[in-house]
A = this chain, B = another copy of it.
Amino acid sequence: MALSSYYKQLVDQRRELHQWPEPGWTEFTTTNYLARKLKAWGYEVLLGTKVVKPEACLGRDEKEVQAGLQAAREHGVSEEFLKATEGYTGCVGVLDTGRPGPTMAMRFDIDCIPVQETDDPNHIPNKDGFRSKHNGFMHACGHDCHMSIGLTTAKWIVDNKDSLTGRIKIVFQPAEEGVRGANAVATSGVLDDVDYFLGSHIGMVAKYGEVVIDPWGFLCTTKYDVTYDGKPAHAGVEPNAGRNALAAACAATMQLLGIPRHGSGMTRVNVGILHAGTGRNVIPAHAKLVMEVRGETAAINDYMSEQAMNIIKGCAISYGVKYDVRTMGAACDMKNDPEMVKMLREVAGTIPEVKQITGEANFGGSEDASLLAKRVTEHGGKAAFFVTGADRKAGHHQFNFDVNEPALDVGFRMFTGMVKKICGRK
């Protein structure tokens, strides 16, 4: 196996980032790390409302943001930097080669998920001492790898600036989990001058040695927070006087999981979190469901949403409780540009470690890169998303998730190869 000369950087950065995972909209320590590097390498770094439109943020919890800010301070992030973020995480590094040419954007997502990393001593982050130090949180979806690939690509661009043309934007997007962040990045306009947009995910449907250059099956999705409000009562003395929000939430969950499959394509539904009640002997007066639906097309996703809304309302009536539904995230489907698929095939063909180039393959999940791609294609740009195969220890989002690090090198060479294709001096 011939790894690139940037491999050590790829691994070191990934392992540093793995140790302080931050959930969406709170990635202040992470953003500081990324911005500091970009700036050091000569990039103009856009922060705050230049890259995130506040009104378009979905699923942003002010309390969590404050906790993220506090943690960043404890990690020594300067007040000056935090002020520059205006409270919004993520950043875009811009490099102008000074030579006429296309504007190319590459997107890397930066948040983690709320899973406690395994204690298994054979788990490599445990064995090699780079396990998450943020209790209850873990880079269990590979965004640490994405960021390291992004940073190393940024470094390579600087190292090879003389052979490049046009402008390059390295987009570090917050809050991908829950497909919350892209909507605000797209709406900010930071991609409105972009001619070529490229994104990638590590692992997923592909093993190490495989690259999927035309994945499909980016499920459309909508994320909801649902609350039920009833009436408390003493569960022994007068249970009849209560209105049981917990029971309404359980009934709704049972019904939501049973929304009929759709004859025309894949569907998904999940109630990821349910919190209800205050005391053992109190009829629970409050319940909250954190949920999502998905559909293979916008129409199927709409079908799922409509069924879910009926159920949520029906259970409120059954139990005599009030309900409230808030939209917390959204993503759409996407389709790769054929020219870029061709380029991806050519680039992958130059990497000896890539033993299999897969055309179409089912991605099977949602990605809010789809919203960024949509923004770029709406003004005439081209967009593509590929999957960098990796050997996983466990499925994404699981507490023992891990990938083989050589996969980062493949990802890095795919991105830099595409930079050469698109921005290389002819």
Write the residues of chain A forming the contact surface with B, with a CB cutoff of 8 angstroms.
113-115, 177-178, 204-205, 219, 221, 223, 231-242, 244, 246-247, 249-251, 253-255, 257-258, 260-264, 266-284, 287, 290-292, 294, 303, 307, 310-311, 313-320, 328-329, 364-366, 395-399
Contacts and interface: CB of A to CB of B under 8 A. Distances in A.
Nearest to A233: B395
Contacts of A291: 280
26 contacts: A114-B278, A115-B232, A115-B282, A178-B280, A231-B398, A238-B262, A238-B364, A240-B262, A246-B271, A246-B273, A247-B257, A251-B255, A258-B258, A260-B283, A270-B281, A270-B282, A271-B277, A273-B278, A273-B284, A274-B275, A275-B275, A280-B328, A281-B366, A282-B397, A310-B319, A314-B318
Given A240-B303, A270-B280, A275-B275, A233 B397 contact: yes
B320 A310 contact: yes
B233 A398 contact: yes
A238 B315 CA distance: 25
A271 to B, nearest CB: 6
Main secondary structure of the interface of A (DSSP, over half): mixed
Given A242-B260, A314-B314, A315-B318, A236 B366 contact: yes
A167 to B, nearest CB: 34
A309 B279 CA distance: 21
A177 B418 CA distance: 54
A238 B205 CA distance: 10
A247 to B, nearest CB: 6
A58 to B, nearest CB: 11
Q: How many copies does the complex hold?
A: 4
Contacts of A318: 255, 310-311, 313-315, 318
Contacts of A258: 247, 254, 257-258
Contact of A314 (B241, B287, B316, B399): B316
A240 B304 CA distance: 9
A318 B248 CA distance: 12
Given A261-B267, A272-B280, A241 B303 contact: no
4 pairs of A and B residues whose beta carbons are closest in the complex: A314-B318, A257-B258, A238-B263, A235-B270
Nearest to A314: B318
A413 to B, nearest CB: 25
A402 to B, nearest CB: 15
Given A115-B282, A282-B115, A282-B397, A273 B270 contact: no
Nearest to A141: B234
Contacts of A314: 314-319
Contact of A397 (B232, B274, B320, B399): B232
A279 to B, nearest CB: 5
A414 to B, nearest CB: 21
Contacts of A273: 246, 276-280, 284
Contacts of A280: 178, 223, 270, 272-273, 290-292, 328-329
B270 A239 contact: yes
A239 B241 CA distance: 24
**Residue of A251, A294, A329 ringed by the most chain B CB atoms within 10 A:** A251
A239 B262 contact: yes
A282 B274 contact: no
Nearest to A300: B240
Nearest to A316: B314
A178 B292 CA distance: 34
B279 A260 contact: no
Contacts of A266: 261, 266
